[in-house]
Amino acid sequence: MDRTQFDCTRCGKCCHDLRLPVSIAEARKWLERGGDVDILCEAIPWPVEPDASNAFAAYKRKRTFPATSGTLPIRVAVTLAASFTGACPNLGDAMRCGIYEERPLVCRVYPAEVNPFIPLKPEHKLCPSEAWQGVTPFAIDGIPVDPATRAAIEQRRRADEDELEEKRALCERLGIDKAAVSNEGFLIVSVGRERLLGALSELLSDGQPGVDWRSWTLVSNRRVTVDTLVSVDAVSEFDNGPQRDGVQYVGA
Ligand code: SF4
Ligand code: SF4
């Protein structure tokens, strides 16, 4: 049994220079408070349905909506990310969160992992090494011992599954039809606070994600990826940043 002990040192690193994945409701609150939210788009070529026993593929499938790039079936993942450079706009004196009771789920979860396929590794976290030499039991075999943290993880996972139709509709409304090839990078779209808030307010959900029949463009900073995708009748383009018209490609 792998036991992890952890005591937060209040170093504040997890409240600086971040893009925090947030739910639609959290994004609206963040924007209403005057913060910024970006839209991160990535897509997975999905030419055939994976075997039902493939748990990782099933996890990805639940968090993506179906679409096409040229004639290639793909699945698109859209993440709303509360973004800030430097200190989080909600960070107060002595590294205290100014919206503690209403902070996003992802802040409640840190430094645990939301994705069950990513093992909890202290070296992948922002926390200093002394935090991991704490005395408080934090996780057993990577699963947090605190019921509130486990509940926040579940809520975060459920939001990713339940908001697919809204995110598909959001992209359509905002004219977003490009996504980075998954695992190679992200396409970060910034449409501005007022425009995003307006688009989010108008979203309607009919429960199930429909197929997005627009042809998406798959973006990569690797020539070989672009050439391979074009050879199978996908629409693909090379991009390596910098930001243009509110869109930026960031390689993994
Ligand atoms: S909302 Fe609070 S906990 Fe989350 S990053 Fe900002 S200051 Fe830190
Ligand atoms: S980075 Fe880790 S130790 Fe530092 S404030 Fe955040 S949770 Fe605490």
Nearest alpha carbon, ligand 2 atom 7 = 8
Cα 106 to ligand 1 centre (Å): 9
pLDDT surpassing 90 at residue 203 = no
For residue 153, which of 184, 102, 204, 111 has the smallest C-alpha distance? 111
Query: Is 68's C-beta closer than 6 angstroms to any atom of ligand 1?
Result: no
Cβ atoms of residues 189 and 38 within 8 Å: yes
Cα 11 to ligand 2 centre (Å): 5
Cα 132 to ligand 2 centre (Å): 10
pLDDT value of position 134: 85
Nearest alpha carbon, ligand 2 atom 4 = 11
DSSP summary character for residue 219:
E
Structure tokens at 66: 């179906």
pLDDT tens digits along 142-165? 999 999 999 999 999 999 999 999
Helix 24-32 and helix 193-201: axis angle, to 10°?
A: 140
If one counts every other C-beta atom within 10 angstroms of the C-beta of residue 53, the result is 7
pLDDT tens digits along 85-95? 999 999 999 89
Structure tokens at 35: 């913060």
pLDDT tens digits along 99-128? 999 999 999 999 999 999 999 999 999 999
pLDDT tens digits along 54-96? 999 999 999 999 999 999 999 999 999 999 999 999 999 989 9
Angstrom distance (rounded) from CA 42 to CA 113: 20
- How far CA 203 is from CA of 79, 93, 246, in Å, comes to 16, 37, 22
Q: How many domains does the chain have?
A: 1
Cα 85 to ligand 2 centre (Å): 17
pLDDT surpassing 90 at residue 7 = yes
Task: Note down the domain range covering 93.
Answer: 3-251
For residue 114, which of 59, 153, 77, 158 has the smallest C-alpha distance? 153
Angstrom distance (rounded) from CA 50 to CA 1: 32
